[in-house]
């Protein structure tokens, strides 16, 4: 069963920080050095100093280092009343309004403390593979701070959107506590309302309790970190009750049937690759794909989005559309021990057939990310190729929600970066304390 609990969040004090847009940020894994500096410049209290702070040349393994500085900021800002603890446990209604391809969407979620469960229990499932490095980084931060400073993003089944209706009932005719725009995804309006009505809290928990097959949309590394931290704390405090906060993770929960749920594609740029040339790749791909030259990037992307087994290609000498000739051949073309649902994913065809077999990109170069860059913005990948910073790029169609359900429901994991749920769940809205004495 899915156990969700309201919690006494730690949030920015709007009396001390009236301009909240100066202290919120993208999730840690979206923050490169340039964006990190922009956040540093916005405010000395920006959340980036905690979730993805700067390293110093004289950092030491035991401190001072990026993790101890994050803890010091977390504690100092509470002492300065910049961060304050809520008096009453709450769920937090979280609404994001945004536009994609000239259509406006409203995605409604709820920030809650979600009980951590092992994947083999079937309550919460991963949907894509992860890299090992970020797990160790996040675990060191969690051990040092003893708090969830961000939310992961979890999808739950609710075909009738009953929980959404309860959330809407709770926030009707109430002004949001937060109404802000973050500087990176600056076309997204972010609004948050605490929900403290005991009847609504109980109704939401009752609706959520029997649900299984929840899917991690974003935050696989942080969920895995939460499991590791839970196990460490359980060993250290064997008599702690089930409602000990370290048994939970802070998450934004969104219905799989929410009308504002949007999944964008993530394109693959191959770099640092000394194997086949773009011309050689196209020549070998012709055995499996119908290949059509097109005039520009827009035309290429339009064609890709029409079918799951159509891909775009750019290697510096024109755009091409590659369409798989016979999908019935996939079982033979992808000999991996995976389901038909998994093999039919566009990202699976791209990785297993095109990148590995046709292009010959080493699997190790994908795994350690030394030969691949992932892009939401296709034009940025093209600019990299033109500047000689990459070898070629493949454009891929977005993974559909029904595909995510089918693959995750069979206990399978998609290739890394198979989905890009837009917009991101931003950081700096709330924090969940996880010290050993905390209870939910």
Cβ(207)–Cβ(91) below 8 Å: no
% the chain with pLDDT above 70: 99
pLDDT in tens, the chain (440 residues): 899 999 999 999 999 999 999 999 999 999 999 999 999 999 999 999 999 999 999 999 999 999 999 999 999 999 999 999 999 999 999 999 999 989 999 999 999 999 999 999 999 999 887 665 667 899 999 999 999 999 999 999 999 999 999 999 999 999 999 999 999 999 999 999 999 999 999 999 999 999 999 999 999 999 999 999 999 999 999 999 999 999 999 999 999 999 999 999 999 999 999 999 999 999 999 999 999 999 999 999 999 998 779 999 999 999 999 999 987 778 889 988 899 999 999 999 999 999 999 999 999 999 888 999 999 999 999 999 999 999 999 999 999 999 998 998 888 989 888 999 999 999 999 999 999 999 99
Give the span between the Cα atoms of 145 and 67, in whole angstroms.
Answer: 8
| Domains assigned to the chain | 4-262+423-433 (no CATH), 266-397 (3.30.1760)
Q: Identify the DSSP state of 7.
A: B
Cβ(311)–Cβ(350) below 8 Å: yes
Tokens at 3, concatenated: 């156990």
pLDDT digits (tens, 9 = 90+) for 390-432: 999 999 999 999 999 899 888 898 988 899 999 999 999 999 9
Q: Alpha helix locations (H) across 317-377?
A: 330-333, 340-343, 346-348, 363-367
Give the span between the Cα atoms of 88 and 194, in whole angstroms.
Answer: 10
Tokens at 385, concatenated: 């190729």
Q: What is the DSSP string of 249-272?
A: EEEEEEETT-TT-EEE--EEEE-S
Give the span between the Cα atoms of 293 and 322, in whole angstroms.
Answer: 9
Give the span between the Cα atoms of 72 and 78, in whole angstroms.
Answer: 10
Bridge partners of residue 414, in order along the sequence: 128
CA 407 to the chain's CA centroid: 18
Using CA atoms, how far residue 13 sits from 16, 19, 28, 152, 372, in Å, is 5, 10, 22, 22, 41
Give the span between the Cα atoms of 304 and 155, in whole angstroms.
Answer: 26
């Amino acid at each position: 069963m899915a156990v969700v609990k309201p919690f006494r969040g730690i949030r920015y004090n709007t009396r001390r920080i009236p301009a909240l847009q100066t202290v919120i940020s993208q999730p840690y894994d979206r923050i490169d050095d340039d964006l990190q500096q922009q956040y540093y410049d916005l405010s000395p209290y920006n959340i980036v100093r905690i979730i993805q702070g700067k390293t110093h040349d004289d950092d030491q393994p035991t401190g001072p280092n990026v993790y101890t500085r994050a803890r010091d900021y977390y504690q100092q800002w509470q002492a300065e009343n910049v961060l304050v603890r809520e008096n009453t446990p709450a769920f937090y209604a979280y609404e994001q309004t945004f536009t994609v391809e000239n259509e406006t969407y409203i995605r409604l979620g709820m920030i809650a403390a979600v009980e951590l469960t092992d994947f083999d229990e079937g309550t919460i499932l991963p949907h894509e593979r992860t890299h090992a490095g970020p797990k160790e980084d996040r675990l060191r931060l969690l051990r040092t701070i003893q708090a969830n400073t961000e939310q992961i993003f979890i999808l739950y089944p609710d075909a009738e959107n009953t929980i959404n209706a309860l959330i809407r009932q709770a926030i009707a005719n109430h002004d949001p506590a937060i109404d802000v725009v973050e500087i990176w995804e600056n076309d997204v309006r972010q609004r948050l309302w605490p929900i403290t009505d005991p009847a609504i809290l109980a109704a939401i928990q009752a609706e959520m309790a029997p649900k299984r097959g929840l899917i991690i949309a974003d935050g696989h590394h942080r969920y895995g970190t939460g499991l590791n931290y839970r196990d460490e704390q359980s060993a250290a405090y064997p008599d702690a009750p089930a409602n000990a906060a370290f048994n939970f993770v802070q998450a934004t929960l969104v219905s799989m049937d929410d009308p504002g749920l949007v999944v964008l594609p993530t394109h693959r740029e191959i770099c640092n690759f000394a194997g086949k040339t773009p011309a050689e790749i196209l020549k070998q791909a012709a055995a499996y794909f119908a290949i059509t030259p097109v005039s520009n990037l827009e035309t290429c992307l339009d064609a890709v989005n029409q079918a799951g087994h159509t891909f775009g290609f750019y290697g510096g000498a024109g755009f091409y559309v590659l369409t798989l000739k016979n999908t019935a051949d996939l079982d033979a073309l992808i000999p991996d021990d995976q389901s038909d649902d998994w093999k039919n994913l566009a990202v699976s065809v791209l990785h297993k057939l095109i990148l590995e077999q046709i292009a010959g990109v080493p699997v190790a170069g994908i795994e350690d990310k030394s030969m691949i860059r992932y892009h939401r913005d296709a034009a940025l990948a093209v600019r990299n190729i033109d500047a000689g910073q990459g070898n070629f790029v493949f454009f891929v169609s977005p993974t559909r929600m029904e595909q995510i359900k089918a693959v995750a429901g069979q206990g399978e994991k998609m290739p890394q970066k198979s989905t890009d749920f837009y917009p991101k769940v931003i950081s700096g809205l709330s924090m969940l304390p996880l010290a050993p004495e905390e209870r939910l």
